[in-house]
């Protein structure tokens, strides 16, 4: 039997082949459609309620077959799998568009809403029905037939274009490398980065050292390489990926795709009666209007940019006085920032790395979660995986399994860059089939272990791990039984980062650092002097970091808010945003936008929603301040966060849940204080 058709089982990654994908997804879509057509003809409220549960089961059936395919395409990409994945995208898009534009289905949900009381719908089910009715409108259910057809075609076009965009970024990243036969030009690189470069060369059957554009290799060069020309060469290769510039000019160029994606998004918005795509994007978010988002970003920018300018002046002074660099170029920034940090705090990332072996960090992370939320995490070996790097775990409460997750920590070829959490299974309960437990994919791109030793993480990488695990907890600790609002499903996009950014705070707490750190050879705890330096450096260049994120957010939002169809709008908006808020140097050939997967590499994703990171940071900083006041491991406070935020998923309004935890609406001051930008 095709392994993708086995319902209720975990994916059999040892049996899934690219040849299984199209037949399995096609069969599920056909069978689901037949079932939906039968159930949507319900003639009584009771029949409509039974149909609602069947629709959730059918939705889960498709998602649980597609999730391993989508995941494998991201973490072990190959030509056969890519072709199968792309062949399914228009099939799934057409299926989802047909559901969203089916008047009979909409009528069934209207019956459910009108009879919610007599049917005894739970609050979660009522929220799911409300969301569904909203989504019918946003899917064009009330459009005439020709316009519905155009809407569906646009959705398919957009899905294909964003997939090609992401593929181009992956291919451009994997295609570039620089081989160095001797270590002469690698002066300054930590030994571990040198070892990774040697291993990369060995894996590619090359001599010497091989530098790539993967995050561990790129960041090591930009931060530590003393050879300025080498930094420039690697930087230019990175910022021109998938563009008309740089060493691969035109080979994987995303320029035309960006224009196509923006046109399709604007067209979708106009078909639905919105003037701008930003208005369509915000229909599923907390922020009430495009104007409010721009006001929010402007407020953060005005309060942060003066601090960022001071940060930049300090780098210029250090570069001039210590490194004899009169003009700081973009490829000098990370190198100078690291040097200034060593001078100012006598601390380097490489001083810290030996105290954060991955095994110790994970053990400490699991202990922190146990103390906060009273759950235990245990490693398992009873499920199949897609790569030898991958480990699997169960989460237990009172010795009962409540969730599972897969952990894939290390960078490798054919694996998408970045870090993310994705759902493998969502929690749901069916009247006849019982409870399905949530299962998560947690993915990072850290430097791999060398010579059978434990992988050593930078503190930034530790923060990334905690961030993604926060997403995982939101998905896995939910107690909502209704699929469409379970876990992160149905959560307003600009609130979905709250649990992830919230958990990051424990990476900076002394009590937590004692749990997640210990020397990889001796097990000795992080020395007090080193810990004090770490805490002192926490807000080092926080202004520059904040402004960088605001630059991304403003570019994204303004671009979608001001898009006029012209081919020059992308670069124009980016240039204007950099001029208004940026503080760092730039080069004319920088094509950052061509590799901005967050907003162009997904059909919707963070499009006109990158601001969500900052919006949710305000929520998370304010939420964490309650722990600061009441105790970092205060079980009562942890239980309150669990019961008001994590367990409810998308079953209630995000602001209502936040106010239930905090007792009031959030304040931007909490974030500025946390970042050291405001006292």
Q: Could you list the active site residues?
A: 468
Q: Give the integer Cα–Cα distance in Å for 298 and 304.
A: 10
Token digits of residue 539: 């807000």
Cα distances from 277 to residues 188, 263, 271, 322, in angstroms, run 47, 10, 11, 48
Dihedral angle sign, alpha carbons of residues 424, 430, 432, 435: positive
d(CA 22, CA 83): 10
Which two tokens mark 571? 């670069």
Question: CA–CA separation, 50 vs 114, rounded Å?
Answer: 15
Query: Does residue 501 contact residue 670 with C-beta atoms inside 8 Å?
Result: no
Q: What is the dihedral of CA 245, 251, 166, 205, to 10 degrees?
A: -110
Residue carrying structure tokens 């590799």: 595
Cβ atoms within 10 Å of 134's Cβ, excluding its own: 12
Length of the chain: 679
CA distances from 596 to 310, 381, 627 (A): 28, 36, 35
The CB-based long-range contact list for 414-417 (8 Å cut-off, 24+ gap) reads 414/76, 414/77, 414/78, 414/170, 414/174, 415/74, 415/75, 415/76, 415/77, 415/445, 416/74, 416/75, 416/77, 416/166, 416/170, 417/169, 417/170, 417/173, 417/214, 417/215, 417/445
Return the bridge partners of 210, or none. 179
Beta carbons of 584 and 544 less than 8 angstroms apart: yes
- Strand pairing category for 420-425 and 439-446: antiparallel
User: Cβ-count burial of 425 within 10 angstroms (0-12 exposed, 13-18 middle, 19+ buried)?
Assistant: buried
At residue 527, φ and ψ (nearest 5 deg) are -55, 145
State the Cα torsion 333-618-615-677 to the nearest 10°.
-30
Contact 529, 351 (CB under 8 A): no
Contact 393, 377 (CB under 8 A): yes
**How many secondary structure helices (H) and strands (E) does the chain include?**
27, 9
Cα 583 vs. chain centroid, distance in angstroms?
A: 26
Count of alpha carbons within 13 angstroms of residue 623, beta-carbon side: 31
3-state secondary structure of 46: helix
407 phi, psi to nearest 5 deg = -125, 120
- Our measurement of the distance from residue 494's CA atom to the centroid of its chain's CA atoms, rounded to an integer in Å, reads 12
Rg (CA), the chain: 25
């Amino acid at each position: 039997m095709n392994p993708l058709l086995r319902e209720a089982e975990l994916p059999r990654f040892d049996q899934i082949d690219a040849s299984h994908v199209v037949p399995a997804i096609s069969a599920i879509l056909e069978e689901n459609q037949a079932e939906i057509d039968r159930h949507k003809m319900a003639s009584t409220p009771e029949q409509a309620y039974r149909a609602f549960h069947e629709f959730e089961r059918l939705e889960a059936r498709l998602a649980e077959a597609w999730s391993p395919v989508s995941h494998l395409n991201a973490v072990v990409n190959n030509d056969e799998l890519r072709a199968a994945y792309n062949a399914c995208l228009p099939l799934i898009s057409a299926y989802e568009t047909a559901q969203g534009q089916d008047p009979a289905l909409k009528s069934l949900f209207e019956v459910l809403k009108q009879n919610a009381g007599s049917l005894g719908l739970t609050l979660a089910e009522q929220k799911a029905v409300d969301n569904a009715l909203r989504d019918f409108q946003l899917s064009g259910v009330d459009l005439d037939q020709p316009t519905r057809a155009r809407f569906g075609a646009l959705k398919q076009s957009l899905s294909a274009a964003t997939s090609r965009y992401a593929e181009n970024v992956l291919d451009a990243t994997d295609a570039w490398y620089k081989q160095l036969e001797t270590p002469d030009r690698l002066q300054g690189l930590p030994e571990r980065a040198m070892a990774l470069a040697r291993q990369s060369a060995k894996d590619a059957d090359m001599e010497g050292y091989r530098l790539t554009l993967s995050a561990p290799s790129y960041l090591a060069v930009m931060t530590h390489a003393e050879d300025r020309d080498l930094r420039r060469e690697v930087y230019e290769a990175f910022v021109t990926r998938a563009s008309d510039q740089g060493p691969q000019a035109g080979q994987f160029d995303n320029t035309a795709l960006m224009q196509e994606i923006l046109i399709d998004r604007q067209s979708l918005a106009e078909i639905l009666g919105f003037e701008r795509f930003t208005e369509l994007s915000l229909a599923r978010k907390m922020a009430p209007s495009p104007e409010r988002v721009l006001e929010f970003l402007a407020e953060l920018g005005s309060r942060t940019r003066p601090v960022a300018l001071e940060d930049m002046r300090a780098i210029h002074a250090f570069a001039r006085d210590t490194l004899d660099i009169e003009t700081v170029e973009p490829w000098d920034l990370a190198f100078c920032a690291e040097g200034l940090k060593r001078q100012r705090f006598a601390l380097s990332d490489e001083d810290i790395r030996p105290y954060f072996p991955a095994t110790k960090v994970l053990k400490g992370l699991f202990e922190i979660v146990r103390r906060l939320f009273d759950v235990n995490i245990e490693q398992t070996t009873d499920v199949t995986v897609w790569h030898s790097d991958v480990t699997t775990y169960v989460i237990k409460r009172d010795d009962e399994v409540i969730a599972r997750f897969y952990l894939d920590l290390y960078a490798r070829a054919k694996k998408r860059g970045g870090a993310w959490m994705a759902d493998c299974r969502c929690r749901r309960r069916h009247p006849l089939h019982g409870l399905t437990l949530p299962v998560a994919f947690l993915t990072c791109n850290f430097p791999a272990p060398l010579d059978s030793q434990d992988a050593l993480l930078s503190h930034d990488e530790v923060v990334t791990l905690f961030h993604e695990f926060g997403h995982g907890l939101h998905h896995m600790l939910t107690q909502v039984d209704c699929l469409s609002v379970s876990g992160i499903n149905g959560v307003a996009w600009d609130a979905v980062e709250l649990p992830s950014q919230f958990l990051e705070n424990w990476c900076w707490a002394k009590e937590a650092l004692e749990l997640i750190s210990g020397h990889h050879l001796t097990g000795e705890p992080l020395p007090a002097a080193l810990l004090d330096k770490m805490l002192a450096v926490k807000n080092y260049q926080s202004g520059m970091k904040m402004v960088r994120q605001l630059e991304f957010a403003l570019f994204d939002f303004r671009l979608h808010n001001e898009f006029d169809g012209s081919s020059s709008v992308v670069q124009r908006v980016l240039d204007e945003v950099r001029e208004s808020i940026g503080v760092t140097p730039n080069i004319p050939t920088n094509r950052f936008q061509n590799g901005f997967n967050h907003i162009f590499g997904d059909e919707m994703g963070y499009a006109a929603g990158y601001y969500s990171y900052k919006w949710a940071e305000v929520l998370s900083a304010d939420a964490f301040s309650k722990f600061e006041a009441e105790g970092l491991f205060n079980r009562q406070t942890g239980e309150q966060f669990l019961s008001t935020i994590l367990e409810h998923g998308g079953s209630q309004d995000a602001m209502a849940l936040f106010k239930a935890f905090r007792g009031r609406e959030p304040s931007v001051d909490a974030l500025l204080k946390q970042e050291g930008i405001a006292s």
